[in-house]
Chains A and B, each alone.
Chain A
């Protein structure tokens, strides 16, 4: 009896918490976590690492894992986490209502939080907008030595290729990688920002990058970076076909979450109108919540048709994409 009471007391004293394993470490995220703590009284414990490493950690921890929520960048990884049995289904009317079907897992294992578009940026002095059309058209010979894109180790490129595999088939995708490698202005190096810089520096004429890096460059503290961002224009490819490829960051409830209810509450909070505005404003990402309008900057880039291919496909084709890249010697 006494023992029982003691335990009850302990339970009551034990603070409500939610353990978040996250790949994202933006200031905006930290502010949102603090906001969640303030509103709900649930303490947010954060472990930051690369998504792959977090997943490895969860796998090894197994049933004893303290993780409640896994947040990663790119859908490919979320699908991978599901496949590895690291996530569980979370039923929530709010999540179902807010997030469009192609942006979440069919079994509710994960939900997108934000979107970025993988677009073509170009040097307006050397390229006319009319010359651009689709990702596929970039293998044309006229782009020889003009394309800048980062390494195939980068998941954004892997997901882009995974979407091409899903949309056009593996054979076409393999041809595509070979065509792009042949047209590269230089061997892949650096990150997305470096590709934009190289366009402005004249090393190539177009680059394939994520929109949100352009936002970051435009708002950089470094005046040179702002200049770089102003030196290029954004083009949303595949508008007359399947739409521009997007990738997302998203969250899922961990398989052995000790605080499942809090985990769901936490994800619901992140897709709420208020949080989504923060993502869009502070991090230049597109909201997944349809009720939220994009920030002024995002609006200035114009609206676009996005590829509504189910993101699950990206994860399913990820490994295939990596193998195709290697065969084409895309570094």
Chain B
């Protein structure tokens, strides 16, 4: 699993290409500046959107709470570059807004990009915080109240610091997505680190420089994660009592109800309803051309590939976590840690990391079969689903590994050890004890990977086999030809196939409680 990433790293030793100096002098300062700005802006905004809405729906009785709970996750189903297009379209010249209000708001700038990325990525923070808030024992809140702290003080002094590990996990996913974004930033004319990777690779024809840049990016992200972990270790989180009490929702005044409703509704409105509205409008203009039998086939293919990849990724994450646990293989754990970095590397670079080693296997197999058995075979891995699924696995392992691992840490070793002392085998312990306990985490991991695969673009473009297409690729093709209205129907289908598992995920979190 770590092979593609190691391939990228090995290339580091060859150094960057000849235009490195040019890049450092003329482009890099701007790229770094923009990336830092995006990270800070999006980081703050996603935390505000994600944590506030999660707290409100977990803690208070507000109108439409049940609906808001799942609506708040839905922006996750829309690829962020599509959201970027819809906002440009929504406020653009000749848009509905412009026609009615005669204002033209320019969203294609830094502020606009931060807004678009935040509004489409905050659900990562929301999901993580909400499951923490719901599971948070009521005792803490009550103790705090007994000691005379008000609601606000309890939240800022107690709950928020305690929830930190949960939402930081979500935040790191957000930041990785931000660094990885290409479509939205490019369309809005903002050059980021990823833009630099693509420019070095394709415009300047220096893959080595591109890989060098991505390796630096990976190191930055690795540092971020390490700093966060190190800081957290110093604090240590304990839950003194084992009797978790369900969070009791507070009844609040009508005025507060309305305010809280508005706060929780804003992310839904801008992250989901506005883009959806714009897409539906575009689709109403173009569906006749776009909706064909081929389109249905592509939808099915997308769905199937996403299923297969999500299942493989989750199984592999489980294997990594438990196999190393059972056999006390610490090297495996560190390898897994490298593998998890895949999420931080641009899809296009992962694709190359996958292509290089698998092609040598393929080529070896072709020669081997020809020399020994005189049989002509084609590539077994490349140009087939195998390479594609493998690459998704590398790319999205983090999405599955992190929640399962953190949950398996939560219930600790005592349970499984008790089971073993009572004579149950490792396998039996896994099936009877660990798996049922982990089921919610496993399912949510599955759903997140599924939705991510449905949206994935750069890697899919490079590795997908003949005759197979995905909705994301289809949407991209239209958008690439500047047929953005035509791209709306495939985008809507991605959203639709994303909504079902997301609704499911929501029920899981609620049930966990």
Contact = CB atoms under 8 A, between A and B. Distances in A.
Interface of A: 19, 25-27, 45-50, 52-53, 56-57, 60-62, 64, 66, 80, 151, 153, 158, 187-194, 197-198, 200-201, 213, 216, 220-222, 224-225, 227-228, 319, 322-323, 326-327, 329, 331
B100 to A, nearest CB: 13
Contacts of B285: 221-222
A142 to B, nearest CB: 25
* Count class of interface residues, chain B: 35 or more
B205 A319 contact: yes
Given A53-B348, A190-B88, A80 B466 contact: no
A201 B104 contact: yes
B293 to A, nearest CB: 13
A189 B188 contact: yes
Contact of B355 (A19, A60, A189, A329): A60
A46 B467 CA distance: 7
B481 A66 contact: no
Contact of A64 (B187, B195, B289, B379): B379
B26 A19 contact: no
Given A190-B189, A216-B483, A221 B286 contact: yes
B481 to A, nearest CB: 7
Given A57-B355, A224-B94, A331-B189, A326 B477 contact: no
Contacts of A47: 464, 466
B104 A48 contact: no
Contacts of B363: 62, 64
A192 B482 contact: yes
A200 B482 contact: no
B322 interface: no
A48 B355 contact: no
A282 to B, nearest CB: 12
A25 B466 CA distance: 14
A187 B190 CA distance: 9
B481 A26 contact: yes
B204 A322 contact: yes
A326 B189 contact: no
Contact of A158 (B203, B289, B461, B480): B203
Nearest to A224: B94
A198 B98 CA distance: 13
B477 A25 contact: yes
B265 interface: no
A327 B199 contact: no
A121 to B, nearest CB: 14
What 3 pairs across the A-B complex have the smallest Cβ distances?
A189-B189, A224-B94, A201-B93
Given A53-B462, A188-B189, A200 B93 contact: yes
B26 A193 contact: no
A136 to B, nearest CB: 24
B481 A50 contact: no
A80 B203 CA distance: 10
B227 interface: no
B366 interface: yes
B202 interface: yes
A216 B482 contact: yes
Contacts of B220: none
Interface in B87-129: 88, 92-95, 104, 108-109
8 contacts: A66-B379, A189-B109, A191-B482, A194-B92, A213-B482, A322-B199, A323-B19, A326-B26
Contacts of A19: 466
Given A60-B352, A201-B104, A220 B485 contact: yes
Contacts of B207: 56
Nearest to A64: B363
B80 interface: no
A146 B208 CA distance: 39
B189 A151 contact: yes
Contacts of B467: 45
A49 B476 CA distance: 10
A194 B191 CA distance: 18
Contact of B204 (A25, A27, A319): A319
B362 interface: yes
Interface string B183-200: 000111111000100110
A80 B27 CA distance: 23
Contacts of B26: 326-327, 329
A216 B484 CA distance: 12
Nearest to B351: A53
Contact of B362 (A45, A64, A190, A216): A64
Nearest to A48: B477
B201 A197 contact: no
Contacts of B189: 151, 187-190, 331
A331 B191 contact: yes
Interface in B180-239: 186-191, 195, 198-199, 201-205, 207
Interface in B286-315: 286, 289
Contact of B93 (A48, A60, A228): A228
Nearest to A24: B481
B175 interface: no
B202 A52 contact: yes
Interface string B339-377: 000000000100010011001001100100000000000
Contacts of A225: 94
Contact of A326 (B27, B109, B379): B27
Given A326-B22, A326-B26, A53 B461 contact: yes
A49 B463 CA distance: 10
Given A49-B462, A191-B187, A198 B88 contact: no
Contacts of A331: 189, 191
